[in-house]
Amino acid sequence: MRLTAWAVIMSLMALSSFVSAKDIGVMGQTFGLAEVNMTVWIEQRLAQKEADGTLDQFHAQLKQAVTGYVAQPPAVKGLHRASRDRRFTVDPSLTVKRDITDHEGKVMVKAGTRVNPFERLGRPYTRKLAFFDGRDAAQVQWANRLAKQYPTQLTLILVGGNIERTRQALTQAVWFDQNGYITQKLRITAVPALAMACGVQWCIDEFKVETKL
């Protein structure tokens, strides 16, 4: 039985719950501890499940778990529903840690240089990022209004809820801010929120959903 890298990783995560330990005394010759080859261990565990007739059940459980995670990843932690309208700005500048060179090795940006992506872009950044919780009907309606207002410039980003159901409700693509990476970078603490470029900075608007845009 050949396993893809994806299957090995997912199997390892799932099979970890089957591992237990107890003292059964000394049975036969003992050997020093050695590093376990995890791929071999996983294949052995899968072979054991195939032998005892539980492999199909394990595959079904694994498929259900993976499908559920993909459809609805864990909600972003640390966010709350906006209780008031608020605007603030965020400087997207970053400090280059090492020299950036072109294909010929010529240094384009030296290490230690502070770079603003909006300045480097050379043109206005017109896309807008809308962050909202798909589990909140009022926030979904807010996102729908924005999608109609900016039909070609808006990126919808979920921070919680089911991706496919929300996409169907809004009839357009929806992304998910997994682990809160983008909201943390933009210092967003309340949703719904809209991020857009204001010159060389991000302007962030957090909305109380009962307030008209």
In a domain, 130, yes or no: yes
Closest CA to 7 of 45, 34, 53: 45
40 plus 125 within the same structural domain: no
46 plus 87 within the same structural domain: no
172 plus 202 within the same structural domain: yes
In a domain, 182, yes or no: yes
133 plus 198 within the same structural domain: yes
86 plus 178 within the same structural domain: yes
| 155 SS3 class | strand
160 plus 194 within the same structural domain: yes
87 plus 162 within the same structural domain: yes
In a domain, 39, yes or no: yes
87 plus 154 within the same structural domain: yes
In a domain, 48, yes or no: yes
Residues 163-172: tens digit of each pLDDT: 989 988 898 8
125 plus 167 within the same structural domain: yes
**Percent of the chain as helix, strand, coil, to the nearest 5:** 40, 20, 40
45 plus 147 within the same structural domain: no
In a domain, 100, yes or no: no
The answer to whether 132 and 192 are in contact (CB under 8 A) is: yes
Where in the sequence is the domain holding 192, given as residue range(s)? 80-92+121-206
Write out the chain's pLDDT in tens, 213 residues. 444 444 444 444 444 443 444 444 544 555 455 566 777 777 777 778 778 877 666 666 655 545 555 567 899 999 999 999 999 999 999 888 888 888 888 888 888 889 888 888 888 899 999 999 999 999 999 999 999 999 899 999 999 999 989 988 898 899 999 899 999 999 999 999 999 999 999 999 999 997 544
For residue 114, give every residue at least 6 positions away whose Cβ sits within 8 Å of its Cβ, in sequence order, or none. Answer: 93, 94, 95, 96
66 plus 126 within the same structural domain: no
Single-letter code of the amino acid located at 42:
I
The whole-angstrom separation of Cα 49 and Cα 204 is: 52
pTM of the entire predicted model:
0.64
The whole-angstrom separation of Cα 194 and Cα 141 is: 14
In a domain, 101, yes or no: no
Number of domains, the chain: 2
Residues 123-172: tens digit of each pLDDT: 889 999 999 999 999 999 999 999 999 989 999 999 999 998 998 889 88
